[in-house]
Amino acid sequence: MSAGVRARAAVAHGPGEPLRVEEVSVRDPGPGEVRVRIAACGICASDLHVWRTGEGIGFPAVLGHEAAGWIDAVGPALAEPAMDVGQRVVIAWTPRCGRCRACRSGRPHVCAGITTDAHDGSLSLRGVRLGRYMNVSGLAERVVVPAGSVVPVPDGLPLGSACLVGCGVATGFGAAANTGGARWGESVAVFGCGGVGLSAVQGARVAGAARIVAIDPNPARLALARRLGATDVLSPGDGDPVAALHALTEGGVDLAVEAVGGAAAARQAFDALAPGGRAIVAGLTRFTEELRIPVLSLLLDKSVHGSIYGSSDPWRDFPRLFDLCARGALQIEPMVGPDFTLDTVNDAFAALASGRAVRPRVIFEPEPEP
């Protein structure tokens, strides 16, 4: 086995400091691991949050957890038969270890191996181990990940689209369809129309929701929400969205998905519910924030439930999402862009922070035409 490879990566050296593109060392994959050559990586609001606050990560680190590419090398004793050099894959940030209590009970989205700050030594800079956000670090040309956390991507789906399935699409679609259990004929409210929220809109639509109300202050995002399945849109600037939702639905919605990040939005999602309704909290917030709700409201059979990764099993759900893309029922391309190079990664973060972009992508290398 060789001593690894060199690769370029966007290294975060401190909260809010500009990312620096530097050459890093990437070790060879060990038993049960693969090395992936990254084709594209979406910039998620979680990356922005971690970069700004430093919560959940130790610096220096490589961010990015929404990535797809080609298998570059496989480790010894690899048990996954579909994993071979050249295979197109999307990376899931759950290791799906198969051994922990959560994995054994069919809940790999809460696998005990999930970490926001892996320091496994697979990436290093001048001898210093780099933190790896969500065990992925997709803002590097090559990464080493567990074989259980890569899912083959079918021919016909561009890797630049597949990368979003690795986080935003699975998280939002799953929050509505899996965690929230959206049902035929129900009313659904989605707070926040970023990549996660717009995917939740589509999850509700595919599930057969009769009324889907998108809430966001950005007019362009509201227009996109309509295009992707929202029947109604609300801007907080036009008045209290909770009161408007109760008026639109004659007493509240059956399901509300919070995709903003913050206790205030989570409380609005809960307050928007009709008796018997479900509020799903999917947005990343500050670690110290707390949600306060009146206990008496719970006696109306209302519930609030957290959602990580849309309660998804990547090996089960990613192929289903790929199939929906192939049939045109799930649209990813309208949510993405503009595209950036690794050298302009700071501009990608700025585009997301300003609200100009829903899901900026860093394209490492163009995928060959089929």
pLDDT tens, position by position, 331-369: 999 999 899 999 999 999 999 999 888 999 999 988 776
Supply the pLDDT for residue 2. Answer: 52
Mean pLDDT of the chain: 93
Supply the pLDDT for residue 256. Answer: 98
Which of these ranges, 75-84, 135-144, 170-179, has the smallest mean pLDDT?
75-84
Band the pLDDT of 79: cuts 50, 70, 90. Answer: low
Rounded CA gap, 355 and 48, in Å? 12
| Cα atoms in the 13 Å half-sphere on the side-chain side of 172 | 31
Band the pLDDT of 83: cuts 50, 70, 90. Answer: confident
Q: What contacts 39, CB < 8 A, 6 or more positions away?
A: 68, 69, 70, 159, 160, 163, 363, 364, 365, 367
Rounded CA gap, 71 and 338, in Å? 26
Mean pLDDT for 255-265 is 95
Q: Is the pLDDT of residue 1 over 70?
A: no
Contact in structure between 317 and 291 (CB atoms under 8 Å):
no
DSSP string, 327-359: TTSS--GGGEEEEE-GGGHHHHHHHHHHTS-SE
**Angle of helix 345-354 relative to helix 45-53, nearest 10 degrees?**
100
Rounded CA gap, 27 and 299, in Å? 55
Residue 240 vs residues 194, 248, 268, 271: alpha-carbon distances, Å: 20, 12, 9, 11
Q: Is the pLDDT of residue 10 over 80?
A: yes
Q: Which CATH superfamily is domain 5-152+331-363 in?
A: Medium-chain alcohol dehydrogenases, catalytic domain (3.90.180.10)
Contact in structure between 215 and 189 (CB atoms under 8 Å):
yes
**Global pTM value:** 0.94
Contact in structure between 278 and 303 (CB atoms under 8 Å):
yes
Q: Is the pLDDT of residue 62 over 70?
A: yes
Rounded CA gap, 328 and 326, in Å? 6
CATH architecture for the domain at 172-308: 3-Layer(aba) Sandwich (3.40)
Supply the pLDDT for residue 369. Answer: 64
Q: Is the pLDDT of residue 91 over 90?
A: yes
Supply the pLDDT for residue 119. Answer: 85
Rg of the chain over CA atoms, in angstroms?
20
Contact in structure between 204 and 190 (CB atoms under 8 Å):
yes
Where are the chain's structural domains?
Answer: 5-152+331-363, 172-308
Mean pLDDT for 33-42 is 96
Band the pLDDT of 370: cuts 50, 70, 90. Answer: low
Rounded CA gap, 28 and 41, in Å? 21
| Cα atoms in the 13 Å half-sphere on the side-chain side of 120 | 22
List the one residue out of 160, 156, 225, 163 whose CA is nearest residue 192.
225
Supply the pLDDT for residue 317. Answer: 96
